[in-house]
Amino acid sequence: MRRKQILAMAWGNMKLRRFRTSLTTLGVVIGITAIIGLASLGEGFRVTIKQQMEQGFELNVLTVMSGGLLTGVPSFFTDDDIQNISKIDGVILATPLIQKSDVKLFNDDKASTPLVMLAVNFSEFWTIYTDRLVFENGSLPQSIKNDTTVIGYNVQYYTENESFAYPGQNITIQMTLRRVPPPARRENFTFNLAGTIGKSGAAGFINFDDTVFVPIDTVRKLYNTSSSDMIFVRLANPSYSDVVAKKIEDRFGAEGQVRVLVPATFLEQVETILSMLQIFLTSIASIALLVAGLGIMNIMTVSVMERTREIGILKAIGARSRTILAIFLTEAAMIGLIGGAIGLPLGYAVAQVMGRFLFRFSAEVTPKRSIITGSSTHPLSEVSPILTPEWVVIAIVFAMGVSILFGWYPARKAAKLDPVKALRYE
Amino acid sequence: MSSALETRNIKRTYQMGKVTVAALRGVSLEIKEGDFVAILGPSGSGKSTLLHVLGGLDRPDGGEVLIDGISLYALNDNKLTDLRLQKIGFVFQFFNLLPRLTALRNVELPLTLANVSEQESVKKAGEMLELVGLGDRVTHRPTELSGGEQQRVAIARALINDPKIILADEPTGNLDTTTGGEIVRLMQRLNKEKRQTFVVVTHDPSVAENADRILFLKDGLIQGEKKGFGGMHH
């Protein structure tokens, strides 16, 4: 039979039972809307998270911590360890870091509480984070003195709309010195503020905005130690990450002695989780499409019964079983195609609306600071859904596939009708 | 004259619940090309079953049906379907037109199934409707036509593929006497003009009497034969 005529017959039948066909098609529309809505929202969410995380991680910086606790055992690394790490191929720079959390800052009568005091080698540390640690006021002096200090954004603006201190001013840092034997005692030290940095966000577990930076040599002297808590390692190229991380771990012998935070790997893991989430959500949405498929099966079984006589006539005058099958499958495929074609833009539109409102709402109820996004500068307030060509193809193929699959049984039944019995059917 | 249709000892039984009904009990007949043959019998005599078996719609339990020398039931389903399309035209008691298609599209249907180009099939279907006297009803749907007109459309559809044989099952059974007479005369005219072979199954002697030959079917067997008025004019 001519293709055009098969199409015309299928279309004619759909038109004749307009209301019924519309309802069946609506099922497919809902299914595809759900799939595309969730898929494009999931894709947008994934890309947004990825971008924010890439901003939160320098891919060419590894953080070496001792094994065990979240941020490792303090005072684990010696200067020899740092020397050894800096000799590994692909490592440009390895620099130590000591972090202390029980500190307070004073500027005359003004007080500010940083979450953490980072003792670093200023020139090395700023070499690693040049792009991130940008000065809002002042700058890093040519020669670092024992009392040089730099404060983060949240420290500077601890009191809203009021600066804590200006470059050149002396500020007091109160440290809690733990001695053996205890008790610990609090002591005040005067530092000279070199500058304040703008909003910088977090790198791994450290949020630079809540930080006061001081020279590591000074802290080592005050705390009477020669070790450090973490090592920051800058690589020539992020692609060396895994190899260098492995070498560092090997250098410390027994397994679990140190942990190397590899941002690239971490990003990959997060991305894998987000992809799985996306697939999981779309799988659930697919159930809606399967239900639509059952609707098609139901409606076509009824249609075959109603058209039994017509099928008998066609077969009697010389229509092959295959032609009958084609007429019914074409009808099913067209329902799938139309449903998919409507559901596709509809799903994307729904995703747009949800992306705009759903995440805005959740941004208001969740805390501004999270360990994953680190930065408090860009809360996840909006997600732009992304519709990739792959999903367009998947949706249309899936819509037509499900329709044809569920249309197959009734179409087969029609094709196998005995013409004599079909002609007698009232 | 060669035979258009030949059967040898056809048997067909049905299972009706627990009862086995022997509808055809060994029918042998031969119909020559260009003949107009009526098969006359009371209801329940196996007329419709015979027509279905002759037309390749119903496999008999035994015997053979030859159309144009081809043994129908030796063919597989697809070949048999194709043969119906090429060599057999059906006319039914209840017209059996597709309700959604216009007269022209109904007549064109066999050509469509045979993959003839639309341009050619529309032209031929138009000519055929003209031939059965419905040149002005081309775009009408079955519901917009009278019974007689619908049967004319059905006859045009049966003839469109230029088949070897036309099989008509009570073609006047659903029409009043006057219209029925017109349909019989139309078929006879086409039989004469186009040298088309007709086999008409009926229970109505007034329909049968104008045929060339009349075969009497009773209890699933051909019980006799006589010449009709048509045959006497030869």
DSSP string, B113-172: HTT--HHHHHHHHHHHHHHTT-TT-TT--GGGS-HHHHHHHHHHHHHTT--SEEEEESTT
Length of chain A: 426
Average pLDDT over residues A1-24: 85
| B126: closest CA of chain A, how far (Å) | 18
Query: Would residue A248 count as lying in a domain?
Result: no
Select the residue of A318, A419, A423 nearest B82 (Cβ to Cβ): A318
Average pLDDT over residues A122-135: 88
Rounded CA gap, A402 and A407, in Å? 8
In which element (H, E) is residue A329 found? helix A321-365
Do residues A226 and A281 both lie within one domain?
Answer: no
Rounded CA gap, A375 and A266, in Å? 17
Do residues A352 and A276 both lie within one domain?
Answer: yes
Contact by Cβ (8 Å): A232, A125: yes
What is residue A377's predicted lDDT score, i.e. its pLDDT? Answer: 42
Domain boundary among A236, A256, A289: A236
Select the residue of A309, A317, A322 nearest B109 (Cβ to Cβ): A317
| B57: closest CA of chain A, how far (Å) | 6
Whether pLDDT at A362 is above 60: no
Query: Which residues are CB-contacts of A361 (< 8 A; sequence separation ≥ 6)?
Result: none
**With 0-12 CB in 10 A as exposed, 13-18 as middle and 19+ as buried, what is A164?**
buried
Do residues A307 and A349 both lie within one domain?
Answer: yes
Collect the ranges in chain B with pLDDT lower than 70.
Answer: 1, 231-234
DSSP-assigned letter for residue B72: G
Residues of A in contact with B81 (CB under 8 A): 315, 318-321
Does the beta carbon of B95 lie under 8 angstroms from any beta carbon of chain A? no
Query: Would residue A259 count as lying in a domain?
Result: no
Residues of A in contact with B85 (CB under 8 A): 317-319
A88-128 residue pLDDT tens: 888 999 999 998 888 888 888 778 877 789 999 998 999 88
Q: Which residue has the tokens 């680190």?
A: A374
Residues of A in contact with B58 (CB under 8 A): 420
Confidence category of residue A373, pLDDT binned at 50, 70, 90:
very low
Question: Percent of chain A having pLDDT more than 70?
Answer: 91
Residues of A in contact with B163 (CB under 8 A): none
Rounded CA gap, A232 and A205, in Å? 12
Among A6, A317, A417, A424, pick the best mutation site for testing chain B contact (most B Cβ within 10 A): A317
Average pLDDT over residues A213-228: 90
| A311: closest CA of chain B, how far (Å) | 9
Average pLDDT over residues A221-245: 87
A202: left (phi over 0), alpha (psi -120 to 50) or beta: beta
**With 0-12 CB in 10 A as exposed, 13-18 as middle and 19+ as buried, what is A291?**
middle
- Which residue on chain B is closest to A10 by alpha carbon? B100
Q: Which residue has the tokens 């009021």?
A: A162
Do residues A44 and A66 both lie within one domain?
Answer: no
- Backbone torsions φ then ψ of B210, nearest 5 degrees: -85, 0
Cβ within 8 Å, pair A318-B81: yes
Does the beta carbon of A251 lie under 8 angstroms from any beta carbon of chain B? no
Residues of A in contact with B100 (CB under 8 A): 12-13, 16
Cβ within 8 Å, pair A317-B112: no
Question: Percent of chain A having pLDDT more than 90?
Answer: 34
Cβ within 8 Å, pair B96-A316: yes
Residues of A in contact with B55 (CB under 8 A): 316
Confidence category of residue A374, pLDDT binned at 50, 70, 90:
very low
Does the beta carbon of A1 lie under 8 angstroms from any beta carbon of chain B? yes
Do residues A343 and A366 both lie within one domain?
Answer: yes
Rounded CA gap, A358 and A360, in Å? 6
* Tokens of residue A311, six digits: 């099928």
Cβ within 8 Å, pair B113-A316: no
Cβ within 8 Å, pair A316-B109: no
Does the beta carbon of B109 lie under 8 angstroms from any beta carbon of chain A? yes
Do residues A73 and A215 both lie within one domain?
Answer: yes
Query: Which residues are CB-contacts of A83 (< 8 A; sequence separation ≥ 6)?
Result: none
Contact by Cβ (8 Å): A296, A409: no
Residues of B in contact with A420 (CB under 8 A): 52, 57-58
What is residue A364's predicted lDDT score, i.e. its pLDDT? Answer: 53
- Backbone torsions φ then ψ of A359, nearest 5 degrees: -80, -25
Rg of chain A over all Cα atoms, to the nearest angstrom: 33
Query: Would residue A147 count as lying in a domain?
Result: yes
Do residues A144 and A166 both lie within one domain?
Answer: yes
Residue type present at position B213: R
- Higher per-residue pLDDT: A233 or A374: A233
pTM of the model: 0.74
Confidence category of residue A366, pLDDT binned at 50, 70, 90:
very low
| A326: closest CA of chain B, how far (Å) | 12
What is residue A255's predicted lDDT score, i.e. its pLDDT? Answer: 64
Classify each residue of B44-62 as buried b or exposed e, where b means 16 or more C-beta atoms within 10 Å of its C-beta.
ebbbbbbbbbbbbbbebee
* Tokens of residue A137, six digits: 């006021």
Kindly indicate whether the ipTM for this predicted assembly is greater than 0.90, answering yes or no. Answer: yes
What is residue A150's predicted lDDT score, i.e. its pLDDT? Answer: 93
Average pLDDT over residues A324-333: 93
Query: Would residue A381 count as lying in a domain?
Result: yes
Query: Would residue A245 count as lying in a domain?
Result: no
What is residue A7's predicted lDDT score, i.e. its pLDDT? Answer: 86
A272-322 residue pLDDT tens: 888 898 889 889 888 988 998 999 999 999 989 999 999 999 999 999 999
In which element (H, E) is residue B229 found? helix B229-233
Query: Would residue A257 count as lying in a domain?
Result: no
What is residue A103's predicted lDDT score, i.e. its pLDDT? Answer: 87
Cβ within 8 Å, pair A323-B77: no
Do residues A231 and A300 both lie within one domain?
Answer: no
Pairing type for strands A185-197 and A91-100 reads unpaired
What is residue A74's predicted lDDT score, i.e. its pLDDT? Answer: 67
Select the residue of B55, B78, B96 nearest A313 (Cβ to Cβ): B96
Select the residue of A1, A12, A320 nearest B78 (Cβ to Cβ): A320
Residues of B in contact with A309 (CB under 8 A): 96
CA dihedral (A165, A166, A169, A170) positive or negative: positive
Lowest mean pLDDT among A33-42, A232-241, B137-146: A232-241
| B179: closest CA of chain A, how far (Å) | 23
Paired residues of A107 in beta bridges: A110
Range of the domain at A339: 3-56+267-424
Do residues A189 and A300 both lie within one domain?
Answer: no
What is residue A205's predicted lDDT score, i.e. its pLDDT? Answer: 72
What is residue A378's predicted lDDT score, i.e. its pLDDT? Answer: 47
Do residues A203 and A346 both lie within one domain?
Answer: no
Looking at 3.50.50.60, 3.30.70.20, 3.40.50.300, 3.20.20.10, the CATH number of the domain B3-233 comes to: 3.40.50.300
Domain boundary among A236, A258, A280: A236
| B135: closest CA of chain A, how far (Å) | 23
Do residues A135 and A222 both lie within one domain?
Answer: yes
Domain boundary among A195, A215, A236: A236
What is residue A424's predicted lDDT score, i.e. its pLDDT? Answer: 85
Contact by Cβ (8 Å): B217, B48: no
| A402: closest CA of chain B, how far (Å) | 28
Query: Would residue A262 count as lying in a domain?
Result: no
B193-203 residue pLDDT tens: 888 999 999 99
Mean pLDDT of chain A, nearest integer: 85
Whether pLDDT at A76 is above 90: no
What's the total number of domains in chain A? Answer: 2
Query: Would residue A112 count as lying in a domain?
Result: yes
Q: CB neighbours (10 Å) of residue A24?
A: 26
Do residues A32 and A120 both lie within one domain?
Answer: no
Select the residue of A13, A309, A419 nearest B57 (Cβ to Cβ): A419
Rounded CA gap, A173 and A127, in Å? 25
A41-62 residue pLDDT tens: 888 888 888 877 777 677 888 8
Q: Where are the domains of chain B?
A: 3-233
Half-sphere exposure of residue A4: CA atoms within 13 angstroms, side-chain side: 6
